[in-house]
Structures are given as structure tokens and as C-alpha cells.
A and B are shown apart, each in its own frame.
Chain A
């Protein structure tokens, strides 16, 4: 037994402890979701596992009067929509912020960032009134729009640093090759920040997916999302924690799948060799 090996074992043991600590809530939810209704409040770990909760949650939810599948689809639509809209507007914005200093550019960027650290609750009441009057209440467009507060600053700020890291001489070379600024942006700059786009899209998607306050106040039934929908199981005569747990686990699937598929794009280094270091 040498010293290196002992350290290795100690480090691994430490990691296992942290692993258990970090995954305990997930395991707890999993156990809850497998419990049948009548054993829900047992205080010992002995129950007959059942998939009934999942059947109820995914089965149209008519039993409980909660259309969970529709909430799930709603979440997909508004999250993907919000990220797509933010990318469409945010990528050129981030590029401009990285490449050009113009009057008030820093103030503009800071204002954008402030949307992230201002509590959502401070704007929710006026937004509610506005949405009611504009007819945006409980619509996809309304939710996608308000989720820009969540996704846009993230995308602009992170992508700006990616564009800043990119040598401007690459686009300058494209300009001299005879390409317009727009073409240089699309042809040269964008492909080189693909890993950044992948990472930030994933992050933005998770933030949008997990958002609770905006859909809670600004939707009722048509555009309601899973975060709010999962809570519906807690209403009624007694809280159905098993259904909520099952709903939460099901709604964790899309971000997980997305993270796994996008993983290979997250590796940086595509721009290796662009300019001499």
C-alpha cells in the first residue's frame, strides 16, 4: 500500500459520501413515486412498489382532474420557443456587444443582466395586469415573451464572452475575402461558437423549464406548465405526494435527454488552430 493509493481511496470515499448526499432527494422522490396511495405515510421503508402513480400522471390525468400531459407539452412548447427566440435575437446582440463599443453599450448590457438578479416577484403584479389587458394571459406567446427575462440575459452574456474570445481577425479576413458583415457573422463567427451555443441553449432551456413564478401567475389552464401543474396534485382532500413526485420525475426527463444529446458539443476546442497562440 503506497501513499498515492491511500489518497485515491480517501478521495473516492469522499466522493461517494457527496454522491449519496446530492442524490438523496432524487432517491426520496423515486421511492415516494413508487408508493401506493395507502402506504404513502408509512414511516418505514417497507411498501409494495407500484407504477400506479406514473399511470395516473401520464394517463391523461382525468382521474385527478389534472391534464398533466398537456402541461408537459405546454412546457416543451414555451421552453423551446423561449430559447429559440432568445437565440434569434440574442446571438446577434451578443456579437454586437462583443465587437463594438457604442454609446451606452455597457449600460445596455447591465440592464439586461439586471433582469436576472431582480426578483421576478417585483414585476409580476404589473405584468399580470398588462397581460390581462393585452390578452396575453394564459397564452403561449405570453409565456414565451415573459420567459425572455430568464433566457435572454443568459444567452447574451455568455455568448458575448464566446465572441470576445474569438479573434476578430477571422471575420476581418472574411470581409477582405469579399463577404458582407452579415455573411462573415453567419459563415465564420457562428460556426466557431457552436459549443457555446449548445451549452447556453441547454442552460437556458433548463432555466425556462424550471421557471415557476411566471407560469403560476400568468397562466391558468391553457398554457400552464409542469412546474405549476405538478402542484395541482397537492390540492383536494389530501396531498398526493406520490403523484407529485412522479410528475416531477417525469418532468426531469427532457432536460436530462437534452443534456445527454448535447454533451458532445459541449467540448470546447473547435477554434483550436484558428490563430497562432
Chain B
């Protein structure tokens, strides 16, 4: 039980900068997801908290105590490695019981057996405990690795992509169950992933990491509705957010160079005419207009179907509006009968539009 504070963490490997001033504050008991593409520094951040990597600059505090010079085994944190890091010469049971036999977290053997049994059951690996690690599939190994973390008391859990190698079905049910496990509920958890669905589904708060820097920290609503910049906007959602390049025009409007998209600026943003802008709209916010007038509070676009793709119950339709492409997700029956080059009308709710400044690294300027 502890809050974790990272202040200005910096770490370089030769010429490669892994962490470039990471600041982060995790509240006590919080489930915090750290999302970023590979190479963003997620694992390095975890290892810095665990004390396995020494940061070149900055400090790590766990429970208000500066961890500088504190050995990993004295930090009272448990970590689940992306590579599992299971002991190959031990059985699954011995792997999971390992922390409970160590000098620091030792419990009586029957107590250890009880705890391992309970967690193994939660993770659905009770029948595998006698097996050698080498005989397990990747998904099973990953659950053993997660089990080794959950059996022991800790001030913080550090989980590095703990569900990445489970098959899709199991991953979904584990995602749902993970947060309901008592230990996880009570313990500050730093969860690293590159899967935005996991981050949105699990994180009390989410931090987005890019090239060794924290780009944004917020709740899932804040991250989804108010992304700090185009990078964050693009990191969440599939299909990706539509980003359309254009410029501010007279009368508080946004216009693409070919003039095909000409709509009011969202949120009444005051932008001097002529300034370059990037407009963002999520595919699920765009609607197809069959006939009649588009609904109030929406702006209309006219274009031609470029390609349609079926995503199960929904279809993704990509529409060319002049030189720009806008994709949208609509119920499958709405898109039925749409062929290439068919003319369509689209409605975008102006309240859901995002405005970014390409001159400032794609920072959001409105709403």
C-alpha cells in the first residue's frame, strides 16, 4: 500500500535515450495504465521503479520514501516480466511459491501452499502446478508469472504486458477478472501495455508515454475526449481518429486547401485566419446522412465512397472528401449497397470535433 512518485527520470543507454524526464504520480491503491508504442520506455520505467535499472537522473519514491540506493529486494514491489522470467529448473508451483520462500517474504509452507492454490485457481492453472515450466504454453507461462506476483504481499505491483500472450478469449475474461482480484484491488498497480483497449478497460487513470516522455495523464474519459495531441488521439481507437489537415478561414471556420471541407471551428476557438490546423474526428462520431437535412449541431460533408470494409456487425466506410479521406463506422446494414465512387453525405457533430496545432507538435487547441 503506497503511492509511487517518479520525478524527472532520465535514462540513456549509450546514445539511445530511453527515459527523457518522466514525471508520474500514482495514488495509493490506484490501477494505473501506462500506454505507449514499443520503445517508448515503458519497461524501463517499470524497472526503474523496481530498482533493476538505475536512472541517470531523477528520483523514485515509494510510499514517500526516496528509493535511491534501496536494493530491489527491499522495495517491497512485485513485478511480472514481459518475458515471464520463470525459473526453468522449477515447476510451476515452485515458481509461484518462490517469493513466499525467500528470506524477506517467508511464510510457513502450508500457508504458502494455500495462497498458491487460491491464486492458481483464480488464474485457471491449478492443474498445471506440477508441470515443469518448459512444458507449458506461452499463455500458461504468462499466467504462472502473474501468479508469482499475486501470491505475495507487496506495496506495488508492476505488470509488464501481463496478458499479451493469452489467446483472445482468455485475455478478455482475464482483463475483466484482473481488477476484481482482492490483492489487485488493494495494491497500487502500474500496468504497462501497448493495447489501448486494455488501458481503457483497466486503468483508473492512464498515462501515455512517447519517446521517453509522458505526453498525457488522465482518466479514460479525459484521454478519449480531450487527447493532449494528435499522438494520443491516434493511440486510442480503431479505426484510428480521422486527422484532416487544413487551415483557419475567415468567420471562424476550418477549411481544407481544396475547399471541400468547410465547417465551423469547434468550441468557438479563436484562431487567426490562415493558420495551419489539423482537425480530428473519431470514426464512430461520423454519421451517414441518407436523406433530409443533417441533424442540428452537425456539419455536412459531401464525398465519394473510397472503400468499405466489414468489421462484424459494423462496417468501416472510407470516404474521399476532395483530397482528404474520412473514415466512419456505421451499422452494417446502413453501409449495405454502398459501392466505390458512390456519392454520400456525412454529418460530423461539431461538439465532438478536435482541433490540433501542427506547428506545435500536434497539440490540441480546442475544445
Hey, which bits of chain A sit against chain B, CB under 8 A? 167, 169-170, 172-181, 183, 188, 191-192, 270-276
Contacts and interface: CB of A to CB of B under 8 A. Distances in A.
Interface of B: 47, 50-52, 71-73, 77-79, 81, 83-89, 98-99, 102-105, 132-136, 138, 141, 148, 152, 165
6 contacts: A176-B73, A176-B79, A179-B103, A180-B103, A273-B134, A274-B133
Central interface residue in A175, A176, A276, by most chain B CB within 10 Å: A176
B88 A272 contact: yes
B78 A176 contact: yes
Contacts of A173: 79, 81, 85-87, 148
Given A172-B52, A192-B88, A270-B89, A179 B81 contact: no
Contacts of B71: 175, 180-181
A179 B73 contact: yes
Contact of A176 (B77, B86, B136): B77
Contacts of B98: 174, 177
B88 A270 contact: yes
Given A176-B50, A178-B104, A276-B165, A191 B141 contact: no
Contact of B88 (A172, A180, A274): A274
B103 A276 contact: no
B62 to A, nearest CB: 13
B85 A172 contact: yes
Given A272-B134, A273-B133, 5 more contacts: A167-B83, A169-B81, A172-B85, A176-B52, A270-B89
Contact of A178 (B81, B85, B103): B103
A188 B87 contact: yes
Contacts of B84: 275-276
B85 A275 contact: yes
Contacts of A180: 71, 73, 103
A170 B85 contact: yes
A175 B72 contact: yes
Contacts of B103: 178-180, 183
A90 B132 CA distance: 30
Contacts of B105: 177-178
Contacts of B73: 175-180
A172 to B, nearest CB: 5
Nearest to A179: B102
B83 A178 contact: no
A191 B89 CA distance: 8
Contact of B102 (A170, A177, A271, A276): A177
